[in-house]
Structures are given as C-alpha cells and as structure tokens.
Amino acid sequence: MGTMSIDELVGRQNRDGGWPYIRGASWTEPTVYAVLALWAAGETEYARRGLRWIVRNGRTDGGWPAQPGIDQSTWVTALVALLPPEQLGQEAHGRAIAWLLGMTGEESTLTYRMREWLLGNSRLAEREPAGWPWVPGTAAWVGPTSLAILALEREHSRRPRAEVRRRVEEGRGFLIQRMCHDGGWNHGSVRALGYESRPYPETTGQALAALRGVRSAEVEKGLTVARRFLAECRSAEALNWLRLGLLAHQELPAGYCAPAGVTNRTLPDGSLDMLVSAVQAGSDLFWS
Amino acid sequence: MQKTITRRELLAAAAGAAALSACNVQKPVAPARVSVVRAASYDQSVYGTVRRLLDEHRVEVTGRNVVLKPNLVEFEPESSINTNPLVVHAALEALRARGAASVRIAEGPGHRRNTLDLAEAAGYFKTVPHFEDLFVDLNLDDVSRVNPPRQFSRMKKLYLPNTALGADLLVSMPKMKTHHWVGATLSMKNLFGVVPGGVYGWPKNMLHWAGIEESIADLHALFPRQFAIVDGIVGMQGNGPIQGVPKKVGVLVAGADPVAVDATCCRIMRIDPMRIGYLRLASEEAEAYISERNIQQTGESIASVETPFDLIPEFQSIRLENS
C-alpha cells in the first residue's frame, strides 16, 4: 500500500491547525483522523494544534460542521466524539455526545411518522430502529450510523449509561435491517423498486466495525462478504474499513498486508491507514 | 381489486394535465440549437466528432476556465454506467485546441466516496494523460454558500464546490440513461454530482428530501454557463441509473441549452419530455426548449436515430407512444 508517513501528514497540516482532504482549506473529517493518527504515533505537538482547530469550530448546538463557515452541525460530530474527552475537553465532548443522542434519521421522528400515518402510508406503531443521518432533517444511512455507534460505544465503555446503550443497540438494529440480501452493506438502500442492491466494501467494513461483539447469522454473512471484498478490492479507503471491520471480529487474516499498488488518495485515507495499522498491531484506539 | 395511485403516477398525471393546459401557450422563444451526431463506437473517431460538435456550436472558450463534469457512479468498467472516458478526453482536447486557459475534469459521485479509485476503475487514468492532476473531487472541494435563484425546491441555501462555481463554462457530460425516480438522467440530473458529499454525505439525501425534480431544476438555474455533451454511444435502459442494462444508440447529443439537449435525448429514447418533471420545471415557459418547435436541431433526425429504451413498469406512462 502507498502508505503515508507521519512527516507527510505533519507537512500537510494547514497554518490554522486543521487538515484538508487533499489540498485547500481545513475540514473537520480529515482533521479528526489526522489528530487521532498523530496522537497514536506520539506526535502530540501537531495533534494539539489540530485539536485546538477542532475545539474552535464547535457549534453552539454541541455539534460540528463539515467545515468552518457551514451553518449546520452534521455527521462529522460522531468523528469528533471519537476523540478522547481528556484531549477534546470534557465539556465539548459531553456536548458532542448529547448532540448524537438527540439526533435520528428524520423517518424515525414522531412528526414524520405522524404525517405518514395521516397519509395512510404506514401504521403509527411501525418504526424501524433509529439510525443517524448525514445531515439533520434527512434519513438515516449506514455510514453515519456506523460512526455514531463507534463513538457512543467508546463513550459507554468510559461512562456506562442506559441512554447510550439503548441508542447503540437501536443503531445496530438499524444496520442489521439495512444489510443487503446476500450479506454486506451499501450506503443503506437494500432494495429500490423491488430490485436488490449490491453491497460496497467500505460500508461493509464500517458496519462490521460498528457491530463489534455482535454474534448473529447476519454478521456472519457480512463477514463472508467482507473476506471476499478483502481479496478483490483495490481501493485504500475500502481496504482500511474492511480491515477495521474484520479486526473488530478477530477475522482479519494474521499478517495481512494490502496488495501492492493500492494508493491512499486522500489525507483521511492515509490517517485511517495508520490508525487501522495501529489496531492491527494491538492498539484499542477505536474500542476503549 | 382496489387500484392505488402511486406518487409517480400522480406526478405523471399532474405533468400530463399541465401539458394539456399549456397547449395554447404560443409565446415565441429563440430556438435552442441541439446537435445529434452519429458515433458508432468508442474509438478514435470520437475525437473528430466532438471537435466538429464544438465547432458547429462555436463554443467560445478562449482564455476561459472550463470544467468537464462526467457521470461517475460505480466500479463497473464493463457496464454502461459511467460516462466513457474517451468522450471526456475528446472534449478536453477539443476545448484545449479552442484556446481554453484551463480544462479540468470534476465529479462528486453520489454513493461511493473513493472517487479517484472509481475513476481508475472506469478507465480514466488509462485514457486521460495526467488525469490525477486534472481531476477535482467535487465531494471534497472547498465550498461556498449560494442561494438558488429560482427556489423550485425547499433548499433555501446550498454549499457548492468552488471549482464548479468558478468555471467560466461547465460542460455536463452524462451518460444517456433511464432513472428509476425521475424517468431519465441526462445533462441536468448530472448536476447532482456537483453537490458535495463532504457536506451532505453519501448519498446526497438532502436533495431527495428537498424534492428530486425541484432540486434538479434549482441546480440547473445555479449554473447559467453550461454546455452539454451526452454520451449516447452506449446508454443504459431498464432499471437505471445503476442496475439497468446497456443500450446501444450510437449518438452524441450536444448543445448549449441543457433543457433542449435533454428533451432531444428523451425523444431519441422514445420518452415524452413533457412528462419529465424537472424538464418542465426548468423550462422558462410552459413548453420553451422542450417543444420540438423551439429546438433547432442539426445533424441526424430523431427519426433516424431513435432507439426505444426499456422502461421499468412504474414509468410506462412516460413512453412517447403512451402519451
């Protein structure tokens, strides 16, 4: 794999302390992954600058925007909540967790379900387990739900709370319901107009990471699909998530190395590669 | 058995009723020129064909910054899901030859995050020299806030990539495909790819909640400097835009007015453009640039190239024969 070095990651830090996806202005997602990767590597000085950038850009509602200047908190709040509270700050971290707990896909809200019931489209009692949306006011999908579960699971391991446990379990229920017919996950559309949809490697890895510790026939099907993807896939982003998903279930082949020629295309790809390699080496970055 | 009316049928009926009510509207408009040219296969002759298309339309790009926006959807190089890279490279070379200051290729896929990997699988790295240097992932580009000027949808504001907003000319280069929500996906629907996943996610579900047809019309209005080249050499029929099957048509369709270009493509596919909701919304007047009488068509006649596309049952009502 075309790995990214710590020096390269440091060299691409913007003056404001954040990181871009590839080049340009700083975004929340690449900055969180870079901070996590640098912290894991012991490069605390650059990580602290990144943390200060993240803290500066938190919004008053407790969430984070994808980029400063965007006036809406979104899915990236789950990534920020993955940062340890002692790094992010207890208050900011607590507010990020509260934002996540208060967020569901719009289809799970009482207002939406009432409207659907009044239109005769559903029974009021019918309710799919709640997942998380990319942006508030829209439906829940596999990607943001997986990230929110990872953040809340980590929070629960620090400070067990029934509310956090309930949302994690419900989110996992959402993932199980959104599994493709033959196993694995795509963005979250199992079928459209009666046609079965196919799974993707990256979202299969994300969902499996979020389903860590779950034993079920669905998870087994997902793992079978993930192993197949791992052998075929040539995308760094997808391989990073597949590795993490398989590691979560102790199913990554021992000594696994990504095939030659796979290139980290973006800074998050490079940072995530470092993080997953650390997990592969025994770190519990994502789980504790 | 009780027959229930689906939302799609309701929309189709509304569009039909609107079409009937608009029959008497005769406001004259300057005709939009649309070219339909034969292109039998993805071979070297495509370069000359695209060059002649741009010549015919006198596309003025001297000293200007041009962005080519293909449609990249999935990792399926053998399928007809993505715009063929040869067509995009042909446009890139032709626009450079016409004096463009810069020509970039930019796309932001709706479902897959790994855009460069997707482009590689679709053959772009092999076909377009220095592709990575020319390419901008619109999902991850820096953004600016804009307000849709027409507000067809519920979107009051939108963050869009600076590369697309800053283009002097945005060339929409879609694949000619059916679409299981809006009937057909052509140059206008292709603009969903400029909405950044980095802000709105994968999929860009906000557009669906704001109204798909209305969002297409809003995006169209946000980019007034467009040219469209539709890859209809091999399109996709049936359950498009992802799970359909290839349909050979053997044409490229081009013009400066995306509404007129898309309406012409619909007719080639034997779809009634009057029943495509976003075309009606985006048209300034009831029939402007959808109506054949307002399109100055050059090249092949529709009759000589028309190729009925298979439609899923939910969209049988938009077939021209059923209108």
Lowest mean pLDDT among A115-129, B65-79, B188-202, B249-263: A115-129
How far is A253 from A247, CA to CA, in rounded Å? 9
Query: With contacts defined as CB-CB under 8 Å, which chain A residues touch B199?
Result: 66-67, 70, 74, 135
The secondary structure element, H or E, covering residue A192 is: strand A191-192
How far is A78 from A63, CA to CA, in rounded Å? 9
Give residue-wise pLDDT tens across range B99-131.
Answer: 999 999 999 999 999 999 999 999 999 999 999
Q: Nearest 5°: phi and psi at B51?
A: -60, -45
CA atoms within 13 A on the CB side of A277: 17
Give bridge partners of residue B161 from the DSSP assignment: B143
Whose structure tokens read 């559903």?
A: A122
- Residue A127, pLDDT score: 76
- Residue B27, pLDDT score: 55
Sequence-distant (6+) residues with CB within 8 A of A11 are none
For each of chain A's 288 residues, which pLDDT tens digit applies? 467 899 999 999 999 999 999 999 999 999 999 999 999 999 999 999 999 999 999 999 999 999 999 999 999 999 999 999 999 999 999 999 999 999 999 999 888 888 888 888 877 667 789 999 999 999 999 999 999 999 999 999 999 999 999 999 999 999 999 999 999 999 999 887 778 889 999 999 999 999 999 999 999 999 999 999 999 999 999 999 999 999 999 999 999 998 988 999 999 999 999 999 999 999 888 887
How far is A148 from A133, CA to CA, in rounded Å? 10
- State the CB neighbour count (10 A cutoff) for residue B303: 8
Angle of CA points A179, A157, A18, to nearest 5°: 80
Q: What is the mean pLDDT of residues B271-278?
A: 96
Query: With contacts defined as CB-CB under 8 Å, which chain B residues touch A234?
Result: 117
Is there a contact between A265 and B239 if contact means CB atoms under 8 Å apart?
no
Query: Looking at chain B, which residue has its C-alpha nearest residue A65?
Result: B199
- Residue B275, pLDDT score: 94
Query: Looking at chain A, which residue has its C-alpha nearest residue B135?
Result: A22
Best B74, B118, B202, B314 residue to mutate vs chain A (most A CBs within 10 Å): B202
Which DSSP state fits A223? H
Are B118 and B72 within 8 A, CB to CB? Answer: yes
Is there a contact between A265 and B140 if contact means CB atoms under 8 Å apart?
no
Best B76, B116, B312 residue to mutate vs chain A (most A CBs within 10 Å): B116
| Percent of residues, chain B, with pLDDT higher than 90 | 83
Is there a contact between A187 and B202 if contact means CB atoms under 8 Å apart?
yes
Give residue-wise pLDDT tens across range A82-99.
Answer: 999 999 999 999 999 999
Q: Give yes or no for residue B9 having a pLDDT over 50.
A: no
How far is Cα of residue A215 from the mean position of the Cα atoms in its chain? 20
Which residue in A148, A283, A251 sits closest to A206, CA to CA?
A148
Which residue in B277, B267, B308, B262 sits closest to B16, CA to CA?
B277
Q: Looking at CA atoms only, how far is residue B315 from chain A in angstroms?
A: 11
**Residue ranges of E strands in chain B:** 32-38, 65-70, 102-107, 135-137, 143-146, 158-161, 169-173, 175-179, 183-185, 226-237, 245-255, 295-299
Sequence-distant (6+) residues with CB within 8 A of B277 are B11, B15, B182, B183, B213
Write out the residues of chain A at the interface with chain B, using a CB-CB cutoff of 8 A: 21-22, 24-25, 27, 29, 66-67, 69-70, 74-75, 106, 133-135, 137-139, 141, 143-144, 186-187, 189, 192-193, 195, 197, 200, 202, 234-238, 265-266, 269
Type of residue at A197 = S
- Residue B205, pLDDT score: 96
The secondary structure element, H or E, covering residue A196 is: strand A195-196
Encode burial over B202-222: b for 16+ CB neighbours within 10 A, e otherwise. Answer: bbbbbbebbbbbbbbbbbbeb
Is there a contact between A133 and B142 if contact means CB atoms under 8 Å apart?
no
Q: What is the mean pLDDT of residues B248-275?
A: 97
Is there a contact between A265 and B203 if contact means CB atoms under 8 Å apart?
no
pLDDT band at B227 (very low <50, low <70, confident <90, very high): very high
Is there a contact between A138 and B209 if contact means CB atoms under 8 Å apart?
yes
The two tokens of residue B15 are 């569009």
Is there a contact between A29 and B314 if contact means CB atoms under 8 Å apart?
no
Secondary structure of residue A288 in the 3-state scheme: coil
Q: Give yes or no for residue B195 having a pLDDT over 50.
A: yes
How far is A56 from A17, CA to CA, in rounded Å? 10
Are A180 and A196 within 8 A, CB to CB? Answer: yes
Query: With contacts defined as CB-CB under 8 Å, which chain B residues touch A200?
Result: 111-112
The two tokens of residue A119 are 């239109």
The two tokens of residue A95 are 């507010």
Is there a contact between A143 and B143 if contact means CB atoms under 8 Å apart?
no
pTM of the model: 0.93
pLDDT band at B79 (very low <50, low <70, confident <90, very high): confident
- Residue B6, pLDDT score: 44
Is there a contact between B209 and A133 if contact means CB atoms under 8 Å apart?
no
Best A23, A29, A31, A67 residue to mutate vs chain B (most B CBs within 10 Å): A67
Q: Looking at CA atoms only, how far is residue B128 from chain A in angstroms?
A: 18
- Residue B5, pLDDT score: 43
Q: What is the mean pLDDT of residues B208-218?
A: 96
Q: What is the mean pLDDT of residues B18-34?
A: 63
Is there a contact between B180 and A193 if contact means CB atoms under 8 Å apart?
yes
Q: What is the mean pLDDT of residues B307-311?
A: 97
The two tokens of residue B201 are 């996610």
How far is B236 from B245, CA to CA, in rounded Å? 5
Which residue in A226, A269, A227 sits closest to A3, CA to CA?
A269
How far is B132 from B117, CA to CA, in rounded Å? 11
Query: With contacts defined as CB-CB under 8 Å, which chain A residues touch B112?
Result: 200, 202
Query: With contacts defined as CB-CB under 8 Å, which chain B residues touch A189?
Result: 203
**A236-248 helix and A217-232 helix, angle to the nearest 10 degrees:** 140
**Percent of residues in chain B assigned helix, strand, coil, to nearest 5:** 40, 25, 40
Which DSSP state fits A199? P
- Residue B304, pLDDT score: 98
Q: Looking at CA atoms only, how far is residue B252 from chain A in angstroms?
A: 30
How far is A33 from A269, CA to CA, in rounded Å? 9
Q: Looking at CA atoms only, how far is residue B296 from chain A in angstroms?
A: 37
Query: With contacts defined as CB-CB under 8 Å, which chain B residues touch A138?
Result: 201, 205-206, 208-209
| CB-count burial class (<10 Å; 0-12, 13-18, 19+) for B241 | buried
Lowest mean pLDDT among A192-196, B184-188, B292-296: A192-196
How far is A108 from A254, CA to CA, in rounded Å? 41
What ipTM goes with this model?
0.95
How far is A223 from B72, CA to CA, in rounded Å? 28
Highest mean predicted confidence (pLDDT) among B13-17, B30-34, B77-81: B30-34
How far is B35 from A229, CA to CA, in rounded Å? 43
